[in-house]
Chain A
Amino acid sequence: MQVAVLSGKGGTGKTFISVNLACVTENAVYVDCDVEEPNGHLFFKPEITEKQPVSVNVPEWNESKCTFCRKCVDFCRYNALAMIKEKLYVFNEVCHSCGGCMILCPQKAITEKPREIGVIETGKSGEVTVMTGCLNTGEVSGVPVIKALLEKLDGSSDTIIDCPPGSACVVMESIKKSDYCILVAEPTLFGVHNFQMVYELVKQFKKPYGAVLNKSIENDNPARKFCEDNKIPVFEEFPYNEQLAKLNSDGLIAVREYEAYAEKFRQLLSAVKEALS
């Protein structure tokens, strides 16, 4: 089974939930799709067994074949090409790797070469296989890294996907192949406002979903109310706890420190498995 953990708002506890859930799931694979700011590995501290660079294709110009017709420059929707004094200039950072210039060149004077934009690190922490996608700083899009991450999964183990914040492209990419979505909500107006967005997204993608209320407070929890009003099943609630906050801030994994948390996460795992069956 592949379970994605998302929230809309940042900082609600996606990593907390996904890391701990992976720890109580037998032989799980934890995949960090928040490639702009991956955090799971900071908790797992995995022993790295593989580093795979992720590249995108950018145009390579063959001067000898070029007739300077400028078809490539005029076609490029991203303005990634310029032709000055019979020399082609390629601007890699704005290139979207669509292959258009190469396909359309009448002289076949453009080919492609790979350009590294990030890396996937695979390792082990206890029983958990940890896969971390990391986008190089200055690069604009993590989508190719997320695609490469998901391509590496063979579906043989239970997989937990730690998603990026928001509900845009990168999140959509991360949940594409998931069987189930856990939506993490925090008890603030901001949290609920953004929770609503991912709720819409998972419905749009027709993914089954359930909620976890994190940093929960006793009264007036707008997240609880939202779930009640919309009949969203709430699987677990983690009350705000100073000790847990400190544990987290020190990069420690709750289920590996306290049995009480291990039990709660085992219950969460059962609830998800039951919902899936």
Chain B
Amino acid sequence: MTTVHRLLDGAFSGVVLTPELQDLKEEMRANLLARVAELEAVGVPPAESARRAFDELGDVQALIETESGLGPDAGSPASASAPTSGPASAPTPRSAPARPAQSVAAAAQRNKVRPHPGFVVGVVLAGLLALGAATVLALTVAGVVTGAALPLCAAAGAALAAGWIVTTSLLQETSSNHPLPSGRALGYGLGSAAVVLGLALVASGLGLGDALVAWFVPAGVALVTGVVVLSWLGATQTNRKKAWVREIAAEQMAAGNRFEEDPDAAARFGVYTAVIWIVAFAAFLVLGFTAGWAWSWLAFVGGFALMMLVLARLLFGERKDQDRGSHRD
């Protein structure tokens, strides 16, 4: 058993163990141990099984070089195939692709998915049904509708419309999302339908005013069922974003890191914020005593707007200290 560990250490010697490489090494360790156990189970001696398991891995050195960013194809194939519209880019570190902002729009254009006409027609029809049902329910609450049949139909119609819209929407491939598996999409649709049904029944019961139990018990059951189903689906939801969207999101996260890279900007932002809120509070008092308290809150709105402008300026504006060297973006 110890030989697996020694062989692994040997393979990873001479490279800086980044967190990614450490992660790879630990993953390989468990898999190697599993393979060794398999070999030993068929009677291969321990020392030989470790050696064989290791030799079967393939080109470990190339893998380590790729993962440590030294290899030839360190970038993902998706980013490698994406046309770089900017000037011939200088070699950049692998996690920080320099990409001009307009290529985000270009990527969105390239990955555009048009909705199916059938889906659009279905959603419009379901929307009309929902509108009709909502009108009936509003009239019921207002006390105009008195019978139980019409609100009941409206509740069913609203639930059907909601379920239809949610299910078919989730089954659609969009520019940024993959379609959901049909089982899960149906689950979301049924959950939404149950919640809408429950709310519609509560509304009907309140509007009609009589036989409350007959309305509220099924309403409660539908609501609880819907909430439970939706919570479970939400808790088990996995990624459905397309790769290009994730890439752009990662780049935008990197843009927000400017305060980490540039502590001066963070300190400036702190001082500006303090000044803005002190001035805003002073303006609040002045306005309150002169123009009246009804208008004094505008000072805080102005202060907030100013703070966001300063934040945007500090995060995305031009840097004055480019001459200091590292030209990061």
Partners in one complex: no
Please report A residues at the B interface, Cβ cutoff 8 Å.
Answer: none
